[in-house]
Amino acid sequence: MYLEQSPYHNPYDLMTFYDNHDMARMNADIKGFINANNWLFTSRGIPVVYYGSETAFMAGTAEHEGNRNYYGVDKIAEAKTHPVAQSMKTVAHIRKESVALQRGLQLNLDFNQDTAAFYRIYQHDGVIQNALVLLNKGDAETSIELSGDKLHAGTYTDAMSGKQTSISNGLSYPVPANGVVVLLNDTAISNPKILAELAKLQQVVPM
């Protein structure tokens, strides 16, 4: 949304969220919150997590019925081991260490019912990082398969496992259930198809 022809000065400076103090809490289970955070911390914009969402606090309650309620010290303690909080901590750390996830242009590749794939590409002032993001909100591990002329060939490193993989004409990569994979590459884009797409995306980003 708002990657091209944005009505905003810079869509990458927008703060992104799924609930806050003026709307109902997100109506989802633990897996839903994990998947939402995986998207929030890898896609364009500045992620904002409202208090309590790290433990799915009062999920689904209407505005003014659960979005401003007392959280309490017990819930704070629970967050230390809660699966939503632990998953969010992992993806937030990956974002913290990746300039591409923080500031890179987003080039969408493929979106299906339970999976998504897109690039975050940052190449500025001699700093180069390409992050290939693979998302799976299904309940079973699946291999995301990509092919075509929008793939940047080269060696990529899995930001979570450290495993290296080579991409040439295509990719088939396993993504865990309700999981995210970020593959990082640090070579300059030369593919003319990708460069043309990046030129379009740059039209909505002020210099």
Tens-level pLDDT at each residue, the chain (207 residues): 788 888 888 999 999 999 999 999 999 999 999 999 999 999 999 999 999 999 999 999 999 998 899 999 999 999 999 999 999 999 999 999 999 999 999 999 999 999 999 999 999 999 999 999 999 999 999 999 999 888 999 999 999 999 999 999 899 999 999 999 999 999 999 999 999 999 999 998 886
Nearest residue to 51 via CA among 32, 29, 25: 25
Q: For residue 207, what pLDDT is reported?
A: 65
Contact 116, 110 (CB under 8 A): yes
Distance CA 207, CA 205 (A): 6
What is the C-alpha to C-alpha distance for residues 63 and 21, in angstroms, rounded to an integer?
Answer: 8
In the numeric block, which tokens belong to residue 160? 């979570």
Whole-number pLDDT of residue 50? 96
Q: Please calculate the CA angle 53-87-82 and round it to the nearest 5 degrees.
A: 60
Name the residue with tokens 């003014």.
Answer: 64
Beta carbons of 57 and 68 less than 8 angstroms apart: no
The pLDDT assigned to 148 comes to 84
CA distances from 45 to 10, 12, 179 (A): 9, 4, 20
